[in-house]
Structure 1
């Protein structure tokens, strides 16, 4: 499955089976565990921090605005700046929405070539998702690991990379985690 390169190192490659706007793209993930974590299975991966409040949500998004290569916000609230709303006002407006109104907003951050996006639906769990098709190589994996560390650091809690689910279940596998207290990042 892998091919040796000039240095004798085996590089595991995966061919994307889909043709998107960029055509068929070749993936080269340099470590076997990366192939397991970022396996193209048609689903997203989620980065989450559990048991948070709006204060942590705001801190994480403010921090991402400062360190990401690019951020974007889309929201339906006419009284807020349409391009760069104050995040405290944005989260308070969102949290004050009557239950069942169905309005939310999107926050996106780009690290390298990988976009991470949140559609907040729960005040108590930070969740960002990413498309596996954006993780093409070691640089893409490095972007995911950096994002995980930045989110954990800003939220002051362990950040988890998991498979895609609507709500976290403590029994589900953690693919990668970062503990900001110890500085340790671990993977499956």
Structure 2
């Protein structure tokens, strides 16, 4: 069962998401909060797997709350909820370690798929959207860390394609590989670069001028 906490200052919006999630046999809403400070308390009490976190809220915004959550041991996966497709706050949250972002008017099926994807921890919600976000807001780059030099030539090719937002199946088709092989390459790349998921891979690529 995927344990979810909803954080949004609009009670009506939370009620709609709660009903949607409650209709799924593999999900359960274990807590709700109306601001970031409440979110910290609810998460500490309920230990959810996934937190859907609004960015703009009173008392404590979602960006601050997310930064504090992700500093804790074994933090939940955090998905930012935003009204704007190019939201600088969402980009900052992803840099801090959030697992992605969703538009608040996303289709219900997409939201449910996103929760399951993030819970699985194997891929990004929308790598192409994350890439567009960072292309828009990332200006300066920092030197490439030495760990990147540990990647093989093939791993660098896979890294570049993943950073462009291609899925495992798209990379497999392009490189004439099986999806299982691509998944193995991605896992090795993440391990060598000490990255948690494909969201962080996209962020890494932009921060170091590799995108």
- Indicate whether the TM-score tops 0.5: no
TM-score (norm 1): 0.29
Structure having the larger proportion of residues in strand: 1
| Higher relative contact order (Cα pairs below 8 Å, separated by 6+ residues) | 1
Structure having the larger proportion of residues in helix: 2
